[in-house]
Structure 1
């Protein structure tokens, strides 16, 4: 736990420094310049969808509202068993078309291509079911532009998100070959015509704990790692890649459960082996909204799958660990992810067992045990409060005092119920990894509330 606290403190310092520098740039002037087609780079937006009938129309509407001069939207229906395909065809007036698609990455067969009669840059691909990674690979094959943005079927973007996530790529003149964007939880907010009209916190305690996690660990951690080109994870819910680089590494891996991290690690490996100065970045400002699990059963499947995917990627590329050939990725990022993220649950469980046994065996004083418990509670509350204030200061999200107080109070309870649960679920990820189970699990969607 002390190692985790120390690592979070370092990440907070690095993240604060990074965001302070970003804030010095005038976003308005930047957007005015790069909305010009002469400066922007064309991009294909790929939306893999499997049983996303509740959110697919709103998600695509949010993409149609984007401020970007040159883009195409590619919806990939991955053999959905619900009405995802029918809803997309009806909502966007799709018609079948014949088109030759070059299979640069091996993938399942395309059943039919459609084009919208009202939005010429909107394409629908109906394909055989092959999983999210395969759907993304099909989308890459269909894409005609040099960069692609991968989204989830329920992702909702801010109208300027695409301009801002492309900023590192355009400013670096192509040196940045992949960028991850900030993902936020939309539960509790309301929507109209693909845009969030009232962003607010959910009243569901399970969702609120995930908000705390996103702000405390995901946001601060990735900003800090991005400063040193050490990002190993960028969310599949909102990320941009250079198409030629992804094709060069064989696209998304269909045999791993964590295809997002696996792709990023493969890209890092490829760049280091090619002795390239190209890099991968994360930016906090471009916001993507997604629906978070509202039940413990769905959250359990998600966290178990995340940890199994983490284990798979680290194990598949274990030769990079402490390997100076891979620079900071091998010497810093991989050891960190092995020790803190991967083995963290085992270390934490061992710590709990030791403290409990030592207490009952009289090897630790009651006052010391109480002090340790108090330290853990304060750690959760203080870091959560700092993360929310940090988020409000930098991104102007959830700045209201009642929201801050709710999160601080809820964070006080984290160690008593939420942290033990996520610890167990991550340990289950170990079990699934060693047993070789490949279970995606059904992530039920309720949809984001519509504005009345």
Structure 2
């Protein structure tokens, strides 16, 4: 019995150390991110972006939009894509066997007609059913194919594309007009850049007109408001910080840009992947950076993609279950990167971080909450330890979330109204008082399901944008 008590106390302190470590890592990333964002905002000016139009080395972009049952948002999104500012780009909407009116809406609204189009199949995909082009919008192509999943749809778009840069964006997203200019900039600055990720912000609560976000505001539900803070922390802190170390391990599936030749070289997206956005980036590190240590996968905090997030618990659970399973699958497929110095900070820092804190984190956190509470109830530990534990687990998290909002206000001021900032500060508190613990439980469930062979997830309810 005495040995059991000693073991439980040791585990309690180990869990406390875990929370202190992860929060301290976040704090360091905050500092690195703040410096990097300040440097970025001083470097990128509107005048500089205008000059991009005159650069002779501006590379044409193919914007690939995989769409499955996106009838609620596809017209608004496509309108926004057509208004983007860039010297030369095409839009390839890939209808992945939708069961709703996605294809019909595209054909009707944009006057599409079926054409014969030669496709070189560099990547294997499900069979194509037709290619449509618009007489009104020559830069718009709609590709209709059998359902094969998001990764398969992207690969089909890559096959039909002829441009050197591929930008992948979700169909339920809206890009700001200068988005392509900003995300293409790193490719012009450094020829070794093979992929660039941009920041994703939440469109719930924003007002959209003619395919543009005209009025920014927080979502109506507290579940949506909390996700605003969560996304700010994940992108402004996490990805900016890792980018400063050239250790980016994930580019959001909602918005990312890649060299086409790099995508072809690694075999495109893995069609049976649960998290294609992470898997493609990790695969690029493993295959391309192994032969070219100078290859760079980077992140820019300004090219904005507005996307809709779930505002009900069943849909949010399905989303996070998929994300967790995708993370586990991607890390497992490329485990040779773990602590491998050949891959620089990716192998020595980013991969171990994701393995410990993202893959095994839910198990550690969930067991920590349970054992600490039971230890207190069984009088194995005292109240002072419980206070210290929850201070590390909760209060530290609140501080970091509030810092995310402050960094956003100091850098980009997308929420300039005082009432909006107050709401986000409140959401920063609520995020750590139940929401984070709920996510831990869902991610723990995902780990258990994945270990026992379950690869599916539930449905995600999709709603349209709020149109003025």
What TM-score, normalized to structure 2? 0.93
The correspondence for 1:280, drawn from 297, 301, 321, is: 297
Tell me what 1:295 maps to. Answer: 312
Contiguous gaps of at least 5 residues in structure 2: 1-18
The Cα of 1:374 is off from its aligned counterpart by: 4.2
Q: Is the 8 A contact 1:58 1:193 kept in 2?
A: yes
Q: Is the 8 A contact 2:85 2:178 kept in 1?
A: yes
Tell me what 2:160 maps to. Answer: 142
1:87 aligned onto 2:105: yes
Tell me what 2:430 maps to. Answer: 413
The correspondence for 1:435, drawn from 448, 452, 457, is: 452
Q: Is the 8 A contact 2:235 2:301 kept in 1?
A: no
* 1:61-140 → structure 2 map (5 Å cutoff): 61-140=79-158
The Cα of 1:118 is off from its aligned counterpart by: 0.3
The correspondence for 1:210, drawn from 198, 203, 227, is: 227
| Structure 1 residues 377 and 325, CA gap change in structure 2 (3 angstroms) | closer
CA distance in 2, matches of 1:440, 1:49: 18
Per-residue CA distance 1:379-420 (angstroms, 9 max, x = gap): 233222210110121112113222222222233233432112
- The DSSP-based 3-state class of the residue aligned with 1:24 is helix
| Structure 1 residues 240 and 26, CA gap change in structure 2 (3 angstroms) | closer
CA distance in 2, matches of 1:200, 1:132: 30
* 1:150-161 → structure 2 map (5 Å cutoff): 150-161=168-179
RMSD, aligned CA? 1.4
Tell me what 1:255 maps to. Answer: 272
CA distance in 2, matches of 1:256, 1:342: 16
Tell me what 1:8 maps to. Answer: 26
The Cα of 1:37 is off from its aligned counterpart by: 5.8
Q: Is the 8 A contact 1:382 1:408 kept in 2?
A: no
CA distance in 2, matches of 1:254, 1:47: 16
The Cα of 1:39 is off from its aligned counterpart by: 3.7
* 1:36-55 → structure 2 map (5 Å cutoff): 36=54, 38-55=56-73
The Cα of 1:225 is off from its aligned counterpart by: 0.4
Q: How many residues align?
A: 450
1:338 aligned onto 2:351: no
CA distance in 1, matches of 2:437, 2:81: 38
Tell me what 1:221 maps to. Answer: 238
Q: Is the 8 A contact 1:37 1:70 kept in 2?
A: no
The Cα of 1:26 is off from its aligned counterpart by: 4.1
Tell me what 2:185 maps to. Answer: 167
- The DSSP-based 3-state class of the residue aligned with 1:166 is helix
CA distance in 2, matches of 1:350, 1:3: 17
The Cα of 1:440 is off from its aligned counterpart by: 4.8
* 1:353-372 → structure 2 map (5 Å cutoff): 353-372=370-389
The Cα of 1:372 is off from its aligned counterpart by: 3.5
| Structure 1 residues 107 and 238, CA gap change in structure 2 (3 angstroms) | same
The Cα of 1:356 is off from its aligned counterpart by: 1.0
1:350 aligned onto 2:367: yes
Q: Is the 8 A contact 1:35 1:67 kept in 2?
A: no
Q: Is the 8 A contact 2:65 2:171 kept in 1?
A: yes
Tell me whether 202-211 or 281-290 shows the greater mean CA deviation. Answer: 202-211
Q: Is the 8 A contact 1:257 1:440 kept in 2?
A: no
Per-residue CA distance 1:81-140 (angstroms, 9 max, x = gap): 000000011111101110110000111111100101101010000001100000000000
Q: Is the 8 A contact 2:229 2:427 kept in 1?
A: no
Contiguous gaps of at least 5 residues in structure 1: none
The Cα of 1:375 is off from its aligned counterpart by: 4.6
Tell me what 1:321 maps to. Answer: 338
4+ long deviations beyond 6 Å:
none
- The DSSP-based 3-state class of the residue aligned with 1:417 is helix
